Amino acid sequence: MAPRPPGGISAELSAAIRALANDPQRMQPPTLEEVRTDLQQAGLEWSRNGELLHPQDRTSLLIELDSLISQYGADAAALDFASRKS
């Protein structure tokens, strides 16, 4: 398990990770890079309440993911960073 960043991650990123991890078509838990890739796809725009994200909010999540990837690597298990409740 990767160490959590100080202060944790945003609730929105945690919700995005959980949404992807809970996809019944996924065979394995997502990596940070997979979450980033899926977030960039036009059809996958999450928010904590299941609403569409404003493009600026989506950009913020990508920046947050880039920081995690830079620090922990693209292959780090995304669920290690998500809160237990989202």
CB-based contacts of 21: which residues, under 8 Å, 6+ apart? 29, 30, 78, 79, 82
Residue with tokens 């100080």: 6
Mean pLDDT score of the chain: 78
At 37-49, the pLDDT tens digits run 888 775 445 555 5
pTM for the full predicted model: 0.75
Q: Give dist(CA 2, CA 49) in Å, integer.
A: 27
What's residue 1's pLDDT?
A: 57
When mean pLDDT is compared across 1-15, 39-53, 56-70, 71-85, the lowest value belongs to 39-53
Q: Give dist(CA 63, CA 61) in Å, integer.
A: 5
